């Protein structure tokens, strides 16, 4: 009996799905808060005070809130976008299998690691 070939696609589709949810829920919420409600004065003046936000995102709960925000607003949407680019290049016949996959997902991984590095630098 032949063993079916294992695929890594479920991992990439899961990251694609999680990134899509973050694009649909987290990013619009952040944009609404930071780019619309705060400048229009609909939030209290000190709602986005730098020291309060830094304390909440980086210090409280060992920085887990900041890690979750960085992951939800930057890292997962990066994998979502790179998955779309990878499959778009495949549809346009511009990507040849493994090389396109490696370039797309390694760039998403590298940029995610860079974002988390900058988040970690904010802890210090």
- Tell if the pTM clears 0.95, that is, is over it: no
Write 105-114 long-range contacts (CB < 8 A, 24+).
105/12, 105/79, 107/82, 108/78, 108/79, 108/81, 108/82, 111/74, 111/78, 112/74, 112/75, 112/78, 112/79
How confident is the model over 84-120, as pLDDT tens digits?
Answer: 999 899 889 887 678 888 999 999 999 999 988 887 7
Examine the pLDDT at 58 and tell me if it is beyond 80. no
Top pLDDT among 104 and 58 is at 104
Average pLDDT over residues 31-36: 91
């Amino acid at each position: 009996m032949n063993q079916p070939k294992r695929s890594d696609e479920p991992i990439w589709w899961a990251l694609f799905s999680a990134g899509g949810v973050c694009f649909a829920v987290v990013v619009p919420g952040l944009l609404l808060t930071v780019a619309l409600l705060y400048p229009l004065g609909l939030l209290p003046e000190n709602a986005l005070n730098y020291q309060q936000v830094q304390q909440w995102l980086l210090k409280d709960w060992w920085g887990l809130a900041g890690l979750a925000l960085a992951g939800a607003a930057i890292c997962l949407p990066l994998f979502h976008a790179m998955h779309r680019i990878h499959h778009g290049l495949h549809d346009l016949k511009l990507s040849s299998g493994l090389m396109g996959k490696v370039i797309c997902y390694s760039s998403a991984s590298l940029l995610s690691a860079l974002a988390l590095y900058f988040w970690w630098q904010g802890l210090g």
